[in-house]
Amino acid sequence: MIEAALQFALAAITLAILLCAWRLFRGPEVPDRLLAMDTLYISVVALVILLGMGWGTRLLFEAALIVALLGFVSTVALARYLSRGDVME
């Protein structure tokens, strides 16, 4: 039963990532693309966790943690760049 649920979740999240990619290319505004990136990396965190579960390894959780950290920092930096024109003051 878990196998089936895992496959379902993997399919759903892959589809979610494709939808994010569509919004990323489609825009139309720059913040839209940034928002799509943000949602995309959150979905990737979920995907990596699920892969770790399916492959029976705990190593991938650290990969997920790094994706989460980098995703947040880059969203913050880019959003600040959009509203301030620079990242550091």
Partner 1 sequence: MMTTMTMSDLPLWAEILISLMLVTGGLFVLIGAIGMVRFPDFYMRLHAPTKATTLGVGGVLLASMGYSWQTGHFGAGELLIGPFLFLTAPVSANLLAKAALHLRVPTRAEVPPDIPLD
Partner 2 sequence: MNRTSRLARAGWGAHPVLSLLVATVWLLMQESLVVPQLITAALLGLLVPRLFHRFIGPRVRLRRAGLLLRFIVLVLWDILISNLTVARIVLTPGSNPKPAWVRVPLETQNHTAIVMLATIITATPGTVSCIVDEERREILVHALDCDDPEAMAGQIKQRYEAPLKEILG
Q: Report the interface residues with partner 2, using CB under 8 A.
A: 58, 62, 65
CB of 53 to partner 2, least distance (A): 15
Per the CB < 8 A criterion, the answer to whether 20 and 43 are in contact is yes
Site string for partner 1, 30-69 (x = CB under 8 A): xxx-xxx-xx--xx-xx--xx-xxxxx-x--xx-xx--xx
Can residue 87 be called a binding residue for partner 1 (CB under 8 A)? no
44 interface partner picked from partner 2, partner 1, none, CB below 5 to 8 A per type? none
Instruction: Classify residue 48 by burial, with Cβ atoms within 10 Å: 0-12, 13-18, 19+.
Output: buried
Alpha carbons 42 and 65: distance in angstroms, whole number:
11
